[in-house]
Amino acid sequence: MEINFISKNATKYLTTREKIQMILRLVRNNVMIVLEEGLSPEEQLELLKETMREIDPLRFVGVDIISFNGPNRLQGRENVTSLTIIAPGGKIEIVKRTPNQLSVQLL
């Protein structure tokens, strides 16, 4: 499986709809995506809605979404860094999740 790491600069000017279209295009082609800047709860909801409209048991079974937020000190302030992994449904599994570490396994 191919893995694409997408920087926040690549998505910062995209609308929610454009992000979802990009994500689904890649995932339908069996590509796992790691977004440097995670999806907002609203964007995740829209992604799930669109995914449900496109499910086809023979060609597209859906997506798995894993969000990881960890504490990050930036100039003495607490800041939350977000990372989102989106993979074709059933192709990824969480092995370990702590506040500071996320381990996944590709299936």
Kindly list the structural domains of the chain, giving each domain's residue range(s) and its CATH number in brackets, ordered by start: 2-106 (3.30.110)
Q: What is the mean pLDDT of residues 5-10?
A: 94
Q: What is the pLDDT of residue 32?
A: 96
Q: What is the pLDDT of residue 69?
A: 79
Q: What is the mean pLDDT of residues 38-67?
A: 90
User: Residue 68, Cβ neighbours under 10 Å: how many?
Assistant: 18
pLDDT confidence band for 38 (50 / 70 / 90):
confident
Residue 17 has pLDDT above 70, yes or no: yes
Residue 10 has pLDDT above 60, yes or no: yes
Alpha carbon distance, N-terminus to C-terminus of the chain: 10
